[in-house]
Amino acid sequence: MNTRFYNAKILTLDENDKFDIIAGELWVKGNEIIYLGDGSDVSNVCTGDEIIVWDIEKDCYGNLLMPGFKNAHTHTPMTFLRSYADDLPLQRWLNESIFPREAKLQEEESYWLYILGVMEYLTSGITSNFDMYFYQGMNAKAAVDVGFRSVFTSGLNNFSESLERVEEDYLRTTEMDDLVSYIIGFHAEYTTSKELMEGIAGLAQKYKSPVYTHNSETALEVKECIDRWGMTPTALTDSLGMYEYGGGGYHVVHMSDEDFEIFKKRGLYAVTNPGSNTKLASGIAPIKRYLDEGIPLALGTDGPASNNCLDMFREMFLMTGLAKLRENDAAVVDAENVLLAATAGGARAMGIEDCDRLAVGKKADIIMIDLQQPNMQPENHILKNIVYSGSKQNVAMTMVDGKILYERGVYNIGFDPKEIYAKANSIIRRIDGQM
């Protein structure tokens, strides 16, 4: 599939992570960007007798092409528990409502729930996700079947899966398709024995993989870890040799000075999830300090049971808004820092640098932002409009790997949305009937 976008504004990112917007064209051949510019030098692309036959030529009417958002932490199949167990603190939410129903989930059901989550990602301009859940082989199949880019990690804990299953998922996923990959991980210190954590460290060293886990999400989590081990979750996991090849933590709200030093030393990513942290009253992550200390940031929605929507626009606004409240300073964490975390930062945390920005040779994971709507006007500062006033209504198109999967309310994923909705509703009804 060859696609030519013209009459577009195009968001670029240079090697110093500085954004710019140019006017012109963007060409996609197969799944790769082959031209980006003002159109005056397109003859350099086709040499000799080469002729590109366009399958699609799309007039952008002055709208913005930009890299898709990278949802750097989520639990996609938890769509079946959306709005099911709200208004509870984290530990009660998990132990009383979530874990008992997850135990009833069947492997084949995860397939349909994953597709439902992908549909929502597409409407929010998300072109890839970093997913932690059970049945990752089935979830990877769902991602490949609809053409969505996904990076997987394990939700290993004392009550589900095994080290053998983690290794099996790692090997199977990395060989399955270019759209899917796998990074070693586990659920959290408070749900996982030291023996299992040591096993995760061993797998990470065996396969030279980064490691990701829920880390310091709540003050109680940190206190109980210190009571058990005399160390914070960050210090404990580092002491087990988990981060020889990098990695990071999800949430990372309640961090000590030592934790910051470990993150800097190991080059770890701080993946912030402000929507979920707000809803579960977990706290506000120290985003300004991460930026000040040069710790790389990525942004994620967390799962649809704790957020409850998979909307990167809301996450971007909360990331900066909550940071300003925390620091009592309206100048901190500007829109460009946030947009970087939501795009290139996420791609780098997920190990998919080949689609971190729009440039020749990069994968064609592209979204179109409709600027011809009231919330995008006037165009005083398009980047700030995206972060501060943008919403899912502005996502006109989502392309993944050179294929348009969503455009103005229409999905091109090989499934009828009504079928997916019916499957999701039948799954939660079945599980409720067994409780």
6 or 86, greater pLDDT: 6
What's the CA gap between 400 and 125, in Å, rounded? 10
Digit-coded pLDDT (tens) for 25-67:
999 999 999 999 998 887 778 766 677 899 999 999 999 999 9
Backbone conformation region of residue 251, classed left if phi is above 0, alpha if psi is from -120 to 50, else beta: left
Best CA proximity match to 90, nearest among 237, 239, 273: 273
**For the chain, domain boundaries:** 2-67+362-411, 69-350
- Residue 91's pLDDT band, with cuts at 50, 70 and 90, is confident
Q: For residue 93, what pLDDT is reported?
A: 84
Q: For residue 19, what pLDDT is reported?
A: 98
At position 238, the amino acid (one-letter code) is: D
What's the CA gap between 74 and 312, in Å, rounded? 12
- Mean pLDDT across the stretch 91-106? 88
Mean pLDDT (the chain) is 96
Digit-coded pLDDT (tens) for 9-25:
999 999 999 999 999 99
Q: For residue 435, what pLDDT is reported?
A: 61
Q: For residue 391, what pLDDT is reported?
A: 98
- Helix axis angle, 107-123 relative to 136-146, nearest 10°? 40
Q: pTM of the full predicted structure? A: 0.96
What's the CA gap between 105 and 82, in Å, rounded? 14
Best CA proximity match to 124, nearest among 386, 364, 331, 358: 386
CB 254 within 8 A of CB 216: yes
- Mean pLDDT across the stretch 398-427? 97
Instruction: Put the strands of the sheet holding 184-188 in their side by side order.
Output: 184-188, 211-215, 247-251, 269-272, 297-299
CB 32 within 8 A of CB 402: yes
Q: For residue 48, what pLDDT is reported?
A: 61
Lowest mean pLDDT among 32-41, 199-208, 322-331, 412-421: 32-41
Contacts of 150 (CB under 8 A, 6+ apart): 128, 129, 131, 139, 140, 143, 179, 180, 181
What's the CA gap between 211 and 240, in Å, rounded? 12
With 80 as the cut, is the pLDDT of residue 333 above it?
yes
Say which residue the tokens 């914070």 belong to.
232
- Mean pLDDT across the stretch 381-400? 98
CATH number of 69-350: 3.20.20.140
- With pLDDT > 90 as the criterion, what percentage of the chain qualifies? 90
What is the residue-wise DSSP string for 31-80?
A: TEEEEEESSTTGGGTS-TT--PPPSEEEE-TTPEEEEPEEEEEE-GGGGG
Lowest mean pLDDT among 85-89, 117-121, 294-298, 417-421: 85-89
What's the CA gap between 344 and 349, in Å, rounded? 9
- With pLDDT > 70 as the criterion, what percentage of the chain qualifies? 99
With 70 as the cut, is the pLDDT of residue 192 above it?
yes
CATH fold match for the domains 2-67+362-411 and 69-350: no
Lowest mean pLDDT among 97-111, 350-364, 399-413: 97-111
- Mean pLDDT across the stretch 346-373? 98
CB 149 within 8 A of CB 400: yes
Asked: is 2-67+362-411 a CATH 1.10.357.10 domain? The reply is: no
Digit-coded pLDDT (tens) for 147-179:
999 999 999 999 988 999 999 999 999 999 999
What's the CA gap between 148 and 128, in Å, rounded? 7
Digit-coded pLDDT (tens) for 224-244:
999 999 999 999 999 999 999
Classified as helix, coil or strand, 273 is coil
